[in-house]
Amino acid sequence: MAKLDDNRIEEIEEMARRVRIHVVKSTHAAGSGHPGGSLSATDILTTLYFEVMDHRPDEPQWKHRDRFVLSKGHAAPALYGVLAESGYFPVEELMTLRKLGSRLQGHPDMLKVPGVDASTGSLGQGLSIACGIALAAKIDRESHRVFAICGDGEVQSGQIWEAAMFASHHKLDNLIVFLDRNQLQIDGPTEDVISIEPIVSKWKSFGWHTQEINGHDIEEIVDAIDRAEEKDGKPSMIIAHTIKGKGVTFMEGSLAFHGKAADDEQLEVALDELGGA
Amino acid sequence: MWEMAKQRDAYGETLAELGRERENIVAVGADLCGSCRIKKFGTEFPERFFNAGIAEQNMMGIAAGLAMSGKTVFASTFAVFATGRAYDQVRQSIAYPEANVKIVSTHAGITVGGDGASHQMLEDIALMRVLPNMRVIAPADYHETIKATRAIADYKGPVYLRLGRSNIPIITDEDADFEMGKATLLKEGEDVTLIGTGIMVSRCLKAAKILEKKHDIDARVINMSTIKPLDEKMIVDSARKTGGVVTAEEHVVSQGMGSGISQVLSETYHVPMKRVGVANVFGESGGSDELMEKYGLTADHIVESAHDVISRK
Ligand SMILES: Cc1ncc(C[n+]2csc(CCOP(=O)(O)OP(=O)(O)O)c2C)c(N)n1
Ligand SMILES: [Mg+2]
């Protein structure tokens, strides 16, 4: 892929800002949800859907589309934000998040929401599903790619490593996974709960091509995907260093806003910072 | 109106108390230690508290190993992960060898609300009651949770204790007796028996009031907090006395408490029955009360079922 020019980067950053506003507003309207892990993954998600992935919002089931699996399914508000901005469903619908009768479930439901490729929410399972989708593409000699995002707490789950072994064994080089390394899970920093370090060499030793990037730098995200695609025969893990709650100062690095929405006052402060209405 | 409280608060307080009384108690969790309220125990007894991270299967194995070395182990996470994700570990490493592990789950049922179907566990009673050696308890309220937590600490062997997320009515007496395996009679009645478990016991009491006031029907109300082993004597006595039974649970009707009771009655004393619960479907996001209404779990649903049962007597 050609180098991104500055204008394009600004456009993506602007889109990410809008998605952040959706995350904060929709979880506030719901009175619950997971803003922290949604905001840490927003730049990656926005870059995937607005720059990298080949997909057709007016034809969600298009056979040759690149697939995406949100293995850390609780970041649904960010995924819904990029899907709505892409045109899969009206942006206004975002405000129905988690409400009775809404398509926008607390965790992504592939049967309800156009553009959602896999139902997730129980951590540790999405990566295996992504492997299955990548494997099917190999069987069918299809050239589409499979992207996924895992949480850094999520990789404590044993199934992640079962999938890791499977992916390299089967040379799933059409699988590109981001680890949202925001340092935090619910009960504290990952390194205090159950240490996942040294995380890069773990993935390397499981036979994956590994890179480390700043997960909030659009150019680094795009470049990493480019490099991942040059590696034949290996699945790719991009360890993205991120900040939980990124973009809203009082949510940044906060454990409290893992699974709690902003209240009315906090919403105003957040929107002020994000330059939103 | 009833006072409201959370069962998981009762559990957390009681576990910490038990920790002070018995050095032998160890608690394990899986990155939901605050939500499950075992953090209090962890703060007081850091040397007897272990967070396995987001790894429920491993947590159950660790709990089994600790138990095999003489510890009384409390293992807590959300119901969906405790019984679903870690089912084989619970079966092979805890139930089969009769490990002294108390699986205390929180966030059972549809009242989980906004998180949606992936987190609303409506099949756990079925999964746990079918397991040999496993005891299953779903307390009705705050007070009963305290007593159940103490009772299972005294009992040697695997237990599944099912708790909810939200504030629920306090309907039992602070000094009422609790015995594992014994149901309690909350209200005498002649015309029909309402048997509830967990959060649905309060709905049964409410339904009994409506039946009495509006329909002149005298309902007997039973709190079936132990789902396994079932109090067969209480079930059969009630069926004989009233000639009809309605069961109510925040669980799919297939293979829950009501199914257990219907199995008892079909082999002992036949009466018309109706099971109130969720049909065999997954839940969805929404407010707890809205979901209870939509999925058929209100006092009115129990009243309707009571009429149906009585009409078939
Ligand atoms: C199997 C499983 N166990 C527990 C949970 C509850 N849970 C939801 S989010 C979360 C923490 C996730 O931490 P991490 O993977 O680091 O995500 P992030 O920081 O990106 O939000 C937990 C334990 C779950 N969804 N699935
Ligand atoms: Mg994290």
Q: Which two tokens stand for residue A130?
A: 């992504």
Predicted pLDDT at B179: 98
Give percent of chain B above pLDDT 70. 100
Mean pLDDT of the B107-129 span = 98
Pick A98's closest partner by Cβ from B54, B85, B114: B114
Any bridge partners for residue A239, and if so which? A179, A212
B184-311 shares the fold of B4-169: yes
Q: How confident is the model at residue A277 (pLDDT cuts 50, 70, 90)?
A: low
DSSP element (H, E) containing A220: helix A218-230
Domains of chain A are 6-274 (3.40.50.970)
The C-alpha atoms of residue B32 and residue B115 are separated, in whole angstroms, by 14
pLDDT tens, position by position, B142-175: 999 999 999 999 999 999 999 999 999 999 999 9
Contact yes or no for B16/B44 (Cβ under 8 A): yes
Expressed in percent and rounded to 5, the helix, strand and coil fractions of chain B are 45, 20, 35
B50: nearest CA partner in chain A: A193
pTM summary value: 0.98
DSSP tag of A5: P
Is the four-CA dihedral B138, B140, B145, B147 of positive or negative sign? Answer: negative
Q: Looking at the predicted structure, is the pLDDT value of residue A162 above 70? A: yes
CATH code for the structural domain at B4-169: 3.40.50.970
pLDDT tens, position by position, B167-185: 999 999 999 999 999 999 9
Domain segments of chain B: what residues? 4-169, 184-311
- Residue A44 Cα to ligand 2 midpoint, Å, equals 14
Shortest CA gap A8–chain B (Å): 36
pLDDT tens, position by position, B287-307: 999 999 999 999 999 999 999
What ipTM did this prediction achieve? 0.97
pLDDT tens, position by position, B21-64: 999 999 999 999 999 999 999 999 999 999 999 999 999 999 99
Residues of chain B found within 8 Å of residue A101, distances taken between Cβ atoms = 286
CB atoms within 10 A of CB B237: 17
Q: Which fold has domain B184-311?
A: Rossmann fold (3.40.50)
pLDDT tens, position by position, B17-31: 999 999 999 999 999
Chain A residues at the B interface, defined by Cβ less than 8 Å, are 30-33, 73, 98-102, 104-107, 109, 119-124, 153-154, 156-158, 185-187, 190, 193-194
Q: How confident is the model at residue A1 (pLDDT cuts 50, 70, 90)?
A: low
**Residue A187 and residue B58: Cβ atoms within 8 Å?**
no
Residues of chain B found within 8 Å of residue A120, distances taken between Cβ atoms = 118
In the numeric block, the tokens 């390394």 are attached to: A181
